[in-house]
Amino acid sequence: MSERTQALWDWFNGAPFRVLIILVVALIGHVIGNRAIDRAIAKLANFDLKPGPGTAKRQAERARTIGTVFSSAFNAAVWIIAVGMILGEFGFNLGPVIASAGVIGVALGLGAQSIVRDVLSGIFMLVEDQYGVGDDIHVQDIEGKVEKVGLRITQVRDKKNVLWFVRNGEILIVGNKSKKR
């Protein structure tokens, strides 16, 4: 090998090679993790946990919504760890960044209380099966059919064909006309 090729190889064998390995491992973890979550959610969506007419579709919708949350959280964790490891390879001191992230996290938590409230309310609403897609509900001053249920927002279409976006954290009382005893 020539001197120039040897120098290039020595350079690549250092931090660039380790960064490439980190990216490949993160990508493989991302793909495998998402497949595992998708398979688990598909099994959960098809499994009849609560026998009865019309409950299978509702359970499948709830499972898909929860699966989206799991996938997003998993992907965020994988890529945050990968970016941290890559920055470490380039000699970036992560101690102050992690300490600052704690302070920034507290500040964001205080500033984003309504978003956190909406998401937590959405999670509890899904777990408790208060209403689902296709249900006829009365929430706040709105009466209509639920078109979409998300962790943060529920979409309700009223009798005048108006689509309402209701934040889950603002729902204090909900009446479900479609629920059977």
Q: What is the pLDDT along the chain (181 residues), one digit of tens a residue?
A: 678 777 777 777 777 888 889 999 999 999 999 999 999 988 887 776 666 565 667 777 777 777 877 888 899 999 999 998 898 888 888 888 788 878 888 877 777 888 888 888 888 887 787 888 888 999 988 999 998 888 889 999 999 999 999 999 898 888 888 777 6
Q: Tell me, what's the pLDDT at 52? A: 59
- Report yes or no: 163 and 142 within 8 Å, Cβ to Cβ: no
State how far the Cα of 145 lies from the Cα of 154, in Å rounded to an integer.
11
- Return the domain boundaries, the chain: 3-95, 127-176
Ranges assigned E (strand) in the chain: 136-139, 142-149, 153-158, 163-167, 174-176
The pTM of this model reads 0.60
Q: Tell me, what's the pLDDT at 138? A: 93
DSSP assignment letter at 169 = G
CATH architecture of 127-176: Roll (2.30)
Q: Tell me, what's the pLDDT at 143? A: 93
Q: Tell me, what's the pLDDT at 131? A: 85
